[in-house]
Structure 1
Amino acid sequence: MSARSATVLSSAQKSQRELEDLQLVVKARNGNQEALDALMRRYTGFVRLKASSYFLAGGESDDLIQEGLIGLYKAVRDFRHDKETSFRSFAELCVTRQIITAIKTATRYKHQPLNQYVSFS
């Protein structure tokens, strides 16, 4: 297989995945819990990868993963296929923004006492 045919195959696979994502998003918006679960499973590794790039003062890595999953849920809720972007690109933006917002919120001055606490146990 030549490099060109491998690129075409990769492009075809990418288009197929985008179509599957779009179908799952539409079903999830119409209340299909299985479709939402499928999207969450499909993108959980992606969310973990994004979350691993950040640090949350006073929190754990699982907290950032949860924030990323909230961003993914918002992506499902707000995605518009007529805007000519793939769901994956939109989801990446939503996940990243949600994680950064959580970090900014946690590191605000008024939260410093919570971030510098000492456990008695």
Structure 2
Amino acid sequence: MKTFLKPLTSEEEKYYLQEYKRGSQEAKNVLIERNLRLVAHIVKKYQGVEEELDDLISIGTIGLIKAIHTFNQEKSNRLSTYAARCIDNELLMLLRSKKKTSKDISLYEPIGTDREGNEINLLDVIENEPVDVVKNYSLKQDIRKLYYLLGFVLTKREAEVLKLRFGLYGCDELTQREIAKRLNISRSYVSRIEKNAILKLRNAFFSS
């Protein structure tokens, strides 16, 4: 990996950010060049993926440029803290888009049934799969997003069924029959609610 320029001091950063806000292209270039070391540092976490290192640096740099453009000094003390998140997000979006275009199996794709005949999908067993740091971080981000969508796009009943079915929010993980008994509805109705809720979550997840 090439040698990068030293990061800006706090005062230097403040100066060039002010100059950039005034329209200085030279200041923008300085902010980019002096933060490329940060891009390279974050890219190291993604070693082992199929993408070429130069491509990762390029994508990370796009995240850096976006950070410089949207950075608000009133909300954050240092550009580097904010930029690190933007660079990470840009790299993760690249990896996710690659997964989608390569037609990877969906987390909700049925892979079998349990003894009661309930469908088992990858989401049920993913916690048992070994993951590397990048995949684990991406998974945590996806889980946070799913929890948010759970309370945003589902009805109370749909959310309740998924909470009980998958043991969310500390609930016990129940079978469809157990859920049906608890909610005083039929097992087939529980199954329909579950499938519809997962479909709504999936559509919301990939459209947002």
**TM-score where L is the length of structure 2:** 0.42
Question: Could you tell me how far 1:105 is from its partner in structure 2?
Answer: 1.1
Q: What is the RMSD computed on CA atoms of the aligned residues?
A: 2.0
Query: For 1:14-35, what per-residue CA distance to the aligned partner results, in whole angstroms no more than 9, with x for missing partners?
Result: xx82222122122223321211
Residue among 2, 26, 29 paired with 1:34: 26
Matched with 1:72 is 64
- The whole-number CA distance in structure 2 between the counterparts of 1:112 and 1:60 is 20
Residue among 92, 111, 119 paired with 2:102: 111
**Unaligned ranges ≥5, structure 2:** 1-7, 105-208
Residue among 2, 5, 19 paired with 2:11: 19
**Unaligned ranges ≥5, structure 1:** 1-15, 114-121
- The whole-number CA distance in structure 2 between the counterparts of 1:23 and 1:69 is 21
- The whole-number CA distance in structure 1 between the counterparts of 2:17 and 2:49 is 30
What does 1:48-63 correspond to in 2, within 5 Å? 48-54=40-46, 55-57=48-50, 59-63=51-55
Residue among 91, 99, 104 paired with 2:83: 91
Query: For 1:48-69, what per-residue CA distance to the aligned partner results, in whole angstroms no more than 9, with x for missing partners?
Result: 1211211443x31111111110
Larger Rg: 2
Query: For 1:47-94, what per-residue CA distance to the aligned partner results, in whole angstroms no more than 9, with x for missing partners?
Result: 11211211443x311111111100110111100011143111011111
Aligned residues: 96
Q: Give the match's secondary structure for 2:74.
A: helix
- The whole-number CA distance in structure 2 between the counterparts of 1:62 and 1:51 is 10
- The whole-number CA distance in structure 1 between the counterparts of 2:54 and 2:18 is 28
One-letter amino acid of the counterpart of residue 111, structure 1: S
- Taking only the aligned residue pairs, the percentage that are identical comes to 25
- The whole-number CA distance in structure 1 between the counterparts of 2:15 and 2:49 is 34
Residue among 43, 47, 58 paired with 2:39: 47
- The whole-number CA distance in structure 1 between the counterparts of 2:91 and 2:21 is 23
Question: Could you tell me how far 1:36 is from its partner in structure 2?
Answer: 1.2
**TM-score where L is the length of structure 1:** 0.69
Deviates most, 70-79 or 99-108? 99-108
- With over 3 angstroms needed to count, the CA separation of the structure-2 counterparts of 1:32 and 1:46, relative to structure 1, is same
Q: Give the match's secondary structure for 2:9.
A: helix
